Structures are given as C-alpha cells and as structure tokens.
Amino acid sequence: MIAYLPHTDEDIEAMLDVIGVDGIDQLFADIPRELILKEPLQIPAGLPEYEVYRRMQALAERNRVQNISFLGCGSYDHIIPAVVSHILSRSEFYTSYTPYQAEMSQGFLQAIFEFQTMICELTGLEVANASLYDGHTAASEAAVLALNSVRRGSDTILYSSTLHPFTRQVLRTHFSNLPVHLEEIPSRDGTTDLKDLAAKLRPGVAGVILQSPNYLGYVEDLSGLAQELHDNGSLLILSANPLSLGVLKPAGEWGADIAIGDTQALGLPSYFGGPSVGYITATEKLLRKMPGRIAGQSLDQEGKRAFLLTLQAREQHIKRERATSNICSNQALAALATAVYLATLGKQGIREVAEQNTQKAHYLYHRLVKETAAEPLFDRPFFNEFPIVLPKKAAEVLPRMGERGFYAGVDLNRLDPSTPEGTLAIAVTERRTREEMDRYVEALKEVLQ
C-alpha cells in the first residue's frame, strides 16, 4: 500500500475506511479519556520561542525532576537559538568532512571563513584558523606557535596558576617529552602574581599564557603587561571565555599576540563534556606559523567570490615533520554552530547576553554573601562565575542541593586540591531566572543550617 497524506475530507474518509474505523477519535481509543487534552494550552499569544519552550518543559517536569544548572568551570548552560541546530542538521553540513579538495567544498569553506572572521572581530586580532579541538589544546598549540615564532633558543613557556586546571594538565602532557620548559606563575588573591611574572622574564621565554576571566571566574588586570613582554622578546597569549568579550576588553586591546579559548558558550550544549571548539587568533605577522587549516577568500576565473584553503604548505600532509602542527581535523561542524550563533545574535545581541550574564551573576552573588553563611573567596571583579567558601565541605553540600533540584556548582577542591574544601564555583547565565536564583538561595540556607 502506498501511504499518502490526506488533503480533503474525502481523503480522510477514504483513509479511515481503508483501516476500518468510523472516525479519527477511534485512533486514540487506547488513551484514557481523562488524559486527552480537551482545550488549548493556557499559553499567551506572542510569547518568544524560548518562553514557550520553558512553559512546555515546566509541564513535562511535573513527571520528572530536572535539576537547574549553576555549573560552570568551562561548560555553561546557555540559551541556544533553534536556528543553530536547524542549520547543523542539514545534510550538506552534517555529513561533510575535512575539505581536502577545497574547490569542491565552497559552502563548507565559506562557513569556516565566516567563523574565522567573526572570531577575529570578537578577539580584536587579525587572523584565525579553522578551529581546534577545545580550549585546552588551543593553549598547547598557542605555546608551539610562540616557540616557533620568536628568536632561536627560546625554549620556555610561562603560564599562570589561574589557568583552568585541565589546561595546565594538557600543557604538561603535550610538552612532557619535548625540550621545552614550562614554568608556573603563582597567584595572589585570586589573580596572577604579576611581580612573580616579571621576576621570571628572561631572554629564553617565548611566551606567557594567561586567562581572563580565569578559572576562578575573576577578571585579570593586564595593563602594561604586553609591552613588558614585548620588550623581553616574548609573546602574550590570552585565554578568554569568548562570550565575556561582549562586555570585557578583548585580547587585541590588551596588546596580546595570540588569543585562545573555547566556544562552547557560543551555541554549543554541554552534552557530556563535549564536543566543543577551540579558537585561536593572532596578529598577522604570525600567520604563516598558525596551526590547523586556514580558509581564505579569493576570486575565481570569472571574477566571482570563491573560498580556498590557504597557506597549505604549513600542513602535515605537505610539509611532513616540518609542519607547524599535526592537527588532522578542524571541528568544523561545531565551529559552524558557533558561526550561526554569532550571526544570529549579532554584535548588539552578544553584548546583551553578556550583560545579562554579568548582572544575574552579581545578583546571586550579593544575595548569597549577605543572606547565607557563605563568604567570597576573594573580593575581585568577575564576569558570570564566582567562587564562594562554604562553612561545610562542598562535597557534602552538593548532593543535598541536588535533592532540592539544583546542580549547585563545581567543587573547586576536586579540580585543584590547593583550593579550600568548602570552595564552590557558581556560574549564572542568561538562562537563569530571578525565581530560580531566589530558590537557590533559600535551598542553600536550608542545607547550611
């Protein structure tokens, strides 16, 4: 039998006659009458898509508890416009692979080119590649870029202890069997100890890696640092949550040579920790040493706009052991998600989302330190994430908050044992409502009592 969609009343009657029922209601006869919706849902007209979704989700959660997430430390619970998943699900993107035959992949190359362009605008630097695996491996690639770009004999990379602990682990692993020296700069009151950094500068230092907002959530003041490093012949590598650049000074304005980070906050769900996208941008003078693939724009024989993979002589399939990197993929599907997200929101939208993150995080922070026994770890400016010190171990508090419907935060002692056991990192995004934050405060009061 050939199935078809009925278009008229006669078609519907014919279909019902074929399957042997008297009316459409009989198709739902197995559903108890009391469960069948008899009137429209009470949803006001003209609500934004996300508000309709939230109301439908609230109804669904009457059957199953879904905890509200205040998790952060690199992976955040943001609103993602529906158009992102719609574009990603198109087969021409979803089934594509690394474009070795670039001229046959014009749409895919344009998507990569647009990603690069928007990341450059966001970070304030001049060139970007086609993306890296994640923000942690981006740090290692940036370190290699610095080592390959400064004077011969430079073999040292300095990095701050306020880098994400996973980033520090990846750096140590990446260079574990190479003649490269890694030196950690300690922190002072939650941010990088710049006096210790100055004391460690010497001719052999190729680059310095810092993060702002750092893994504690605090914003670092890097005034004058770039010039100090450049006078030493070193490069400044700055890692940042790209969403924070909607309100904070980007790497280019700090005088950084390389900007890195992870775009999970820009259109990618947390999933189970990945996949994500690492970004890297740099000044134009570092272009030929950049890792990964670079999509460029040119003209074809007819003078029409065309896209290509440029400077391929840097890559492992041509230059072999002398390649600038051995990256073999480009995370392009996830990078496309970031590009669609950025294009959907635009410059003003990114600023508004960043401002909501900042304002909501500060609202919750002030309520917690005023109304509960929690205390701030340090008194520092922050973006959308902050650490508080609880009078109990975070490992004891988190399960009890979970029973009350909250993923209450990240136990920083698990990430870094040098952090006090009661330290909890709390992230607040634009997705969190005042009502959810107020409930969080009341729940924490109960747990701490």
pTM metric for this prediction:
0.84
From CA 89, how far away is CA 94, in angstroms rounded? Answer: 6
What pLDDT is recorded for position 12?
82
DSSP letters of 285-340? GGGGG--S-EEEEEE-TTS-EEEEEE-GGGSHHHHGGG-S-------HHHHHHHHH
Q: How far is the C-alpha of 304 from the C-alpha of 301, rounded, in Å?
A: 7
- Give residue for tokens 């996973």: 166
280 closest CA partner among 264, 265, 267, 291: 291
Domains of the chain and CATH, by start: 1-38 (no CATH), 68-80+346-448 (3.90.1150.10), 82-341 (3.40.640.10)
Mean pLDDT per segment of 10 residues, for the chain of length 449 residues?
57 85 83 82 81 83 81 95 92 72 78 94 94 90 94 92 97 94 96 97 96 97 96 97 97 97 95 88 94 87 89 71 72 90 96 98 97 95 97 95 95 92 96 97 95
Q: With CA atoms as reference, report the closest residue to 225 among 281, 160, 151.
A: 160
**Count of CA atoms in the C-beta half-sphere (13 A) of 231:** 7
- Per-residue pLDDT, 328: 66
Q: How many helices (H) and strands (E) does the chain have?
A: 15, 17
The CA distance from 309 to 357, in Å, is: 37
Angstrom CA distances, 147 to 318, 362, 438, stand at 21, 39, 49
